[in-house]
Chain A
Amino acid sequence: MATTLRRLSRVLGWWLIICIASLPVWGILFGLWPDEDTSIADLSRLLAYQGLGLSLWQSMLSALFSSLLSLYLAFLIYSQYQSHSKVGGRWLEKYLSPLLSLPHLAIALGLVFLFSESGVFFVNGDIGLPRKGLSTFIMAIIIKEVPFFLLILIAVGRQLPLHGWLLQGRALGYDTSTSWWLLVFPNILKHMRLALLAASAYTLSVVDMNLLVGPNIPELFAVSVYRWQGSFSEGDQALGFWANLLLLVLLGVSIIFLYCHEKLVIKVLQHWAVLGRRIRLGFVDTLGRVWLPASGLLILLMVLVFTLWSLGFNWHSDTFSLRNLNTQLWQDEWLFVALPLQNALLIGVSAAILGILFTLLALELQRQKGRYLPDYIWLLGILLPQLSMVLGWQVSHIWLEGGYHSGWVVFAHLPFTFGYAYLVLKGPFQSIDANYELIAASFGYSPWQRWWKIRFRLLLPAILSAFAIAFAVSIAQYIPTLMIGAGRVTTITTEAVAIGTGSQQDVAALYILLQSLLPLAAFIMAALLSSRIAGPKHSTLGISRC
């Protein structure tokens, strides 16, 4: 009886997980289904589009370059903080919170305001960032992705015997930096694969940031896709269909590239290790040391700028003085933002918790099966083009006539929170030392007790990080919230994104700040809690209490 029950629940679990993981495919199929008058002739029209080649090339370049560079930078920083600072990762995690909280678009906006032509710190044309250009776009992405990668590295690193590897390295006569790159990096790279895929898919398909700071002669490909798909003049929908397929091809190519990159780098590093090569980083080492303080300062400046804007300060006004600062706007808008903030909080918490539950279920089922399915299957929600996918959900949702309420919006956020939770948790989950559970089993713990008291407890710091990231991801969703909520469910982001398309700096800044508040709170809370729950090395594990 018990075995039947267990088997039944396992089957049920698989079904549940398959349903969640296949939502993105469902969405894409329905959302991308071509209109009747779409033909091959439209494909040749797309291929003849002026500047398409350059546009595709720049899109791929920015996606791969920015995510790889962010990863290397993040690892460099991580290795230095782990080896040089006594407080190490714990302090680092708290420090990351504000860096992770500002939305992508806000970073881009702040960056051009501070450093582009006519910006506050603009020096001259050779040093300043172009107002619109690939370099500004890549820069903004990297500023945002480095803290993200760092957070994942911290979560992964907790479960790896880094200390032992570094000791072995020293015993073999390597200096610390060489040990990190030759011994730790190849191991960690595998666990970072999902984050790399997510970051490059994001860069490949992001639109808002691209519109603001990306080059536009030609535009990056995501912008063209977005424009065709959103236009209803003759022929544009057909172009949008083919362009989406091409975007899928680009995603495929970037996945293959990242897999190859991983294989190649591991091979080269192993070869170097065999040769006993030393790695000298020189000035790059300094870059790793100054990156975080510098970007911390930058974010601080941006927040200062946004705050001043929201208080009515105008840099470029001839008549403005600090005395004119006032809180009028905050008072006026407060009435209107309370509900969107509350909605966002509720949806974010629900979607993040559900995302984590399904992730744990998916990981546990795969562990029991003894085989992990390919990563990209679980990450489809993050990898596939969002607009088409959500369009498919919208069509199904309308068809179901289920009404418009927060429940549906939570459901529409789930594939994204699930994807990000999976991305954070997979590494730590796989790296948990199975011996702990073996020992517990020898003490007579049931499988369920072992899971709850050992595995879950060991995973808790990573779960907290996953929660914060999933929550922030849910807060940031504009398209699914609007398209499934149909305007019945407004969140701080639907308001902020709409106002962001205008030219009113003060309101836009106010909403950016409000939008950052919730993720900031989540990241700080996660960091504080996980530093209280000590990692495995120093933990009391809770076994003694039973």
Chain B
Amino acid sequence: MIFRRFSTKLTGLILLVSLSISTVMAEDLVVETLDEAGAKWQQTLKVAKGKSVYFYAWGGSKAVNEYLRWAKREIAKQYGVRLIHVKVTDPGEAVARLKAENGRTSAIDLTWVNGENFAYLKQHDHLLGNLWSSIPNVENLAIDTLPITVDFGESMDGYEVPWGIGQFNLIAEEAVFSNAQFSANDLLTIARNNPETVTYPRPPEFHGSTFLKQLLVNLTQGDGRLYIAATEVAQNDLLPKLWAYLDALHPYLWQQGKAFPTSSSEQLLLYQQKSLSMAVSFNPNQWIKEKTTKQIPDSSVRRSFSDGAITNSHNLAIPKFSPNPEAAKVVINFMLSELAQKRKFAGEWGDPSVLKSLLDSRSSLPAHPEPHSSWQLIIEDAWQQRYGG
């Protein structure tokens, strides 16, 4: 007994000693690489100090503008970097400029981008790479839980860094949309019972296109072929269901489907003016923010498709020829800090965090993966052909 106890103690001791030795060794290694990375980052911070970052970002949302005004103050205070929000109406304006600059020193240091714009910029070599390995806070991204390494089928590969999460949802009148989730058929019934109050932004506006993708997913019970490149056979099998559905739905839509809102913003305005019973959004918390600021009626609720909300990320990227890439990295690093991400979610904007430490099931919806990007163009073209003229 005694021996055994002793021997256990001994083994324990040996184990402990060897463990601590190995931890010390491992820590040494980590400390070394951390030191190296830390020194590099210190260098980045030093170079960044006193520089300006021209950030091309959509300027249509008061909440986002306010958030960036706050970030500007914080970044100036903490890092001595000047963040300037260049308000654009469309991310395409930044892409057009980068295309025009064609390799010359850029007027853009940082841009807010995703989807086809990112794909274009990456493929044409307009972006700075290795962002993931050179920005410390990237480490805290929730890449295991969130779909934030691939952007609409295009792998990010360090050319952009996720900033926030988009989840397709409806902001709707509770009396009309009584259940938290709905199927395509539920929606048809709702539209029939409440004619002229349901609609969606005119595709190829991306909320409108996503609405169609959600319908297609629901009508085909999430057919596996939607998540790989669209083949001719798959199209012929799956798309007719969507068209048959839309043929039935359109007569009950706002303006009988003879006009559509041009954007989600316009649809939200129509919802505010009580012309519609629903609006569309990519921010799962917009409904609650709009309610607290009295922009929409108190009876507004959030609704989503029963398959889960199509989920994607919106991201930050640095042009390859930005004159101040270090300062832009400092801004990105700040945007990925707990402070900034918490404020983004809890403040006026309500955009979900991308950090592991801040994941919160209440702030987000059950997610559904994006269908393969080839489907989007096919759906948009066919929609235009059938309903757009």
Contacts and interface: CB of A to CB of B under 8 A. Distances in A.
Interface stretch (B100-108, B181-189, B226-234, B301-309): B100-108
B259 A232 contact: no
A299 interface: no
Given A232-B95, A487-B54, A503-B272, A398 B101 contact: yes
B229 to A, nearest CB: 14
A494 interface: yes
B204 A487 contact: no
B132 interface: no
B120 A232 contact: yes
Interface string A385-412: 0000001001100110100100000000
Contact of B266 (A398, A482, A503): A503
A391 B100 contact: yes
Nearest to A495: B87
A486 to B, nearest CB: 4
Given A232-B120, A503-B266, A216 B202 contact: yes
Interface string A49-62: 11110110000000
A494 B86 CA distance: 9
B262 A218 contact: no
Interface stretch (A91-99, A128-136, A534-542): A128-136
B389 A394 contact: no
Contact of B265 (A317, A336, A501): A501
Given A482-B88, A501-B263, A504-B61, A233 B377 contact: yes
A217 B260 contact: yes
A262 B340 CA distance: 63
Interface in A476-520: 482-483, 486-488, 490, 494-495, 497-505, 507
Interface string B247-291: 000000001011110111110111011110000000000000000
Interface string B38-78: 00000000000000001010111110010001000000000
* Interface size classification for chain A: 35 or more
A113 B263 CA distance: 17
A318 interface: yes
B59 A398 contact: no
A354 B240 CA distance: 60
B4 interface: no
Interface string A298-341: 00000000000000001111111000000000000000100000
A289 B87 CA distance: 44
A27 B278 CA distance: 44
A230 interface: yes
Contact of A118 (B105, B258, B274, B297): B274
B155 interface: no
B111 to A, nearest CB: 11
B56 A501 contact: no
Contact of B58 (A211, A218, A320, A501): A501
A433 interface: no
B255 A499 contact: no
A124 interface: no
Contacts of A316: 272-274, 297
Contacts of A132: 255, 259
A490 B85 CA distance: 10
A222 to B, nearest CB: 13
A9 to B, nearest CB: 37
B84 interface: yes
Interface in A204-231: 211-212, 215-219, 227, 230-231
Contact of B204 (A227, A336, A395, A494): A227
Interface string B214-256: 0000000000000000000000000000000000000000010
Given A232-B120, A398-B104, A503 B268 contact: yes
Contacts, number: 155
A126 interface: no
* Interface size classification for chain B: 35 or more
Contacts of B58: 498, 501
Chain A CB count within 10 A is highest, among B97, B260, B385, for B97
B297 A317 contact: yes
B159 to A, nearest CB: 15
B36 interface: no
A315 B274 CA distance: 10
A502 B62 contact: yes
Contacts of B24: none
A117 interface: yes
Contact of A218 (B99, B266, B389): B389
Contact of B117 (A218, A227, A232, A498): A232
A490 B202 CA distance: 31
Contact of B92 (A52, A231, A234, A487): A231
Nearest to A116: B275
Given A50-B384, A502-B62, A486 B97 contact: yes
A486 B54 contact: yes
A87 B190 CA distance: 61
Contacts of B275: 117-118, 131
A325 to B, nearest CB: 13
Chain A CB count within 10 A is highest, among B54, B65, B273, B377, for B273
Interface string B370-389: 00000001000000111111
Contact of A231 (B116, B272, B385): B116
Contacts of B93: 230, 482-483
B89 interface: yes
B294 interface: yes
B105 A401 contact: yes
A315 B297 CA distance: 11
B371 to A, nearest CB: 16
B89 A50 contact: no
B295 interface: yes
Nearest to A315: B273
A69 B195 CA distance: 37
Contacts of B96: 230, 391
Contact of B87 (A216, A398, A494): A494
B60 A500 contact: yes
Given A391-B100, A499-B62, A50 B255 contact: no
Contacts of A500: 60, 89
B269 A503 contact: yes
Nearest to B262: A211
Contact of A131 (B89, B259, B297): B259
Contacts of A49: 384
B28 interface: no
Contacts of B125: none
A499 B105 CA distance: 28
A95 to B, nearest CB: 32
B90 to A, nearest CB: 6
Contacts of A51: 384, 388-389
19 contacts: A50-B384, A118-B273, A130-B255, A130-B259, A216-B259, A217-B257, A217-B388, A232-B117, A233-B116, A314-B294, A316-B272, A316-B297, A398-B101, A487-B54, A487-B86, A488-B107, A499-B60, A501-B263, A504-B62
Interface of A: 49-52, 54-55, 113, 117-118, 130-133, 211-212, 215-219, 227, 230-234, 314-320, 336, 391, 394-395, 398-399, 401, 404, 482-483, 486-488, 490, 494-495, 497-505, 507
Given A132-B255, A316-B297, A320-B294, 19 more contacts: A51-B384, A51-B388, A51-B389, A55-B389, A118-B270, A131-B255, A131-B270, A211-B263, A212-B262, A231-B92, A231-B116, A234-B377, A318-B297, A336-B69, A391-B100, A401-B105, A482-B88, A501-B263, A503-B265
Interface of B: 54, 56, 58-62, 65, 69, 84, 86-90, 92-93, 95-97, 99-101, 104-105, 107-108, 116-117, 119-120, 202, 204, 255, 257-260, 262-266, 268-270, 272-275, 294-295, 297-298, 377, 384-389
